[in-house]
Amino acid sequence: MSQQLRAGIIGGGWPGQQHAKGYAAAGGFKVAAIADLIPSRREKFLSEYPGAKQFADAAELLADGEIDVVSVCLPNYLHAATTIAALKAGKHVMCEKPPAMNVKEAKQIEKAAAKANKIVMYSVQRRFGGPEQAAKQAIEKGYAGDAYHARGTWMRTRGIPIGTGWFIDKSRAGGGALIDIGVHLLDLAWFLLGQPRPIGAYGVTHQRFAHTLEENKKIDVDDAAFAMIRFEGGKSLELAASWAINQSPQQQGTICRVYGEKAAIEVYTPEGAVLYRNFDAKGDAKPHPLKPPKLVSHAALMRHFRECILGKATPIIGAKEGVQLMQMIEAIYKSSESGKSVEIKNN
């Protein structure tokens, strides 16, 4: 394999464009090809990466022996099949979130990656954001003490996505707000807790805002989800996600809080991540803004991907973690359906 890895982007929507920028900024990659069924998306892409090859269907790009790595930026129902086909074709894969439609598919990806001996990573780029990395570093240095509980929320007031039509169709998306945006904050909060093994979940989902969609649009997925997850060793995580909900406009946005025995971390503030420690008897504490690293977001994600491919690192969000993420999501959906808490069994 040449030192410069040739990357192919499969799916030219917003995430595909971010992956391409990430490869270009990370160094050591060449953005070499795009596949998308929509010609205008390919044309836009080629205007930014002249010389890249273009293909209509994903399978055509996968057949190109010059491509070393691919980004799977397709609708959720195509993640597993395309990722597995890419692994069989000898490519390393960066697959968009959610890892798959369900646990079964995520396990199939894990198996295929092991068989092909190639890297699979999932594009949960929040892990690689500036405040998020700063928070992780502070926790790893022990500033928070034992970080035992986290709260992650992404509560949009109005923002049901449609994309090219599949986001609100369960058979193609696997779910709604939970699997789409809940997965980001679930992943981040879980990461900051140190990725303990999930053992159970309790969740409730809603679908209340179908009336805000155009008349011809049929939605059969959740537009809000609320959950509590338990982990081996006693840690816990609260998750809230909405595409649409009535709330104070100031609530729009994301929250990620980590509660530790010595300190708390608020990841999203106007000052970036802030650590609060030395709590006095009244509950006052001194804020310590945490310095973010220089390389962030998709560039940092792709840098890590490259280090994993070169054998210098192990994926922090690889095939195994993808299975665990899907176990948590699936357990929340099952709990919402049954009204009971759901046990998550060992892999």
Ligand X SMILES: NC(=O)c1ccc[n+]([C@@H]2O[C@H](COP(=O)([O-])OP(=O)(O)OC[C@H]3O[C@@H](n4cnc5c(N)ncnc54)[C@H](O)[C@@H]3O)[C@@H](O)[C@H]2O)c1
| DSSP 8-state secondary structure symbol assigned to residue 181 | I
Q: Segment near ligand X (CB under 6 A), from 10-18, 152-160, 189-197, 309-317?
A: 10-18
Q: Residues 220-259: x/- map of binding to ligand X (CB under 6 A)?
A: ----------------------------------------
DSSP per residue over 230-262, as a string? EETTS-EEEEEEESB----GGG-EEEEEEEESS
Taking the C-alpha atoms of residue 203 and residue 178, their distance in angstroms, rounded to an integer, is 10
141 within 8 A of 133, measured Cβ to Cβ: no
Q: Does 14 bind ligand X (CB under 6 A)?
A: yes
Q: Residues 172-201: x/- map of binding to ligand X (CB under 6 A)?
A: --------x---------------------
Q: Which of 137, 157, 164, 207 binds ligand X (CB under 6 A)?
A: 164
- Give whichever of 167 and 231 is closer to ligand X, judged by the CB atom: 167
Shortest CB 12 distance to ligand X, Å: 5
Q: Which of 43, 57, 271, 343 binds ligand X (CB under 6 A)?
A: 57
- Give whichever of 124 and 258 is closer to ligand X, judged by the CB atom: 124
Q: Which of 68, 96, 222, 223 binds ligand X (CB under 6 A)?
A: 96
Phi, psi of 102 (to 5 degrees): -165, 180
Shortest CB 78 distance to ligand X, Å: 6
Nearest residue to 229 via CA among 264, 173, 183 = 183
Which sign does the torsion angle of CA 258, 260, 266, 267 carry?
negative
Q: Segment near ligand X (CB under 6 A), from 29-37, 191-199, 312-320, 336-344?
A: 29-37
**What does the block give as tokens for 231?**
């982990």
Q: How deeply is 245 buried, as exposed, middle or buried, from its count of CB atoms within 10 A (0-12, 13-18, 19+)?
A: buried
The helix or strand, by DSSP H or E, that contains position 254, with its residue range, turns out to be: strand 253-260
Q: Residues 298-327: x/- map of binding to ligand X (CB under 6 A)?
A: ------------------------------
Taking the C-alpha atoms of residue 105 and residue 296, their distance in angstroms, rounded to an integer, is 30
Q: Which of 33, 36, 306, 317 binds ligand X (CB under 6 A)?
A: 36
**What does the block give as tokens for 16?**
């595909």
Q: Which of 6, 9, 20, 41 binds ligand X (CB under 6 A)?
A: 41
Taking the C-alpha atoms of residue 172 and residue 265, their distance in angstroms, rounded to an integer, is 36
Task: Classify strands 69-72 and 92-96 as parallel, antiparallel or unpaired.
Answer: parallel
Q: Does 12 bind ligand X (CB under 6 A)?
A: yes
Q: Which of 38, 63, 114, 310 binds ligand X (CB under 6 A)?
A: 38
Q: Which of 6, 9, 11, 20 binds ligand X (CB under 6 A)?
A: 11
Q: Does 97 bind ligand X (CB under 6 A)?
A: yes
277 within 8 A of 141, measured Cβ to Cβ: no
Q: Which of 8, 15, 152, 318 binds ligand X (CB under 6 A)?
A: 15
Number of residues that bind ligand X (CB under 6 A): 26
Taking the C-alpha atoms of residue 25 and residue 295, their distance in angstroms, rounded to an integer, is 9
Cα–chain-centroid distance for residue 281?
39
Q: Which of 123, 133, 297, 324 binds ligand X (CB under 6 A)?
A: 123
| DSSP 8-state secondary structure symbol assigned to residue 180 | I
Nearest residue to 238 via CA among 247, 229, 246 = 229
- Give whichever of 75 and 260 is closer to ligand X, judged by the CB atom: 75
Task: Kindly list the residues in this chain that would bind ligand X in the complex (CB under 6 A).
Answer: 10-15, 35-38, 41, 57-58, 73-76, 78, 96-97, 123, 125, 163-164, 166, 180
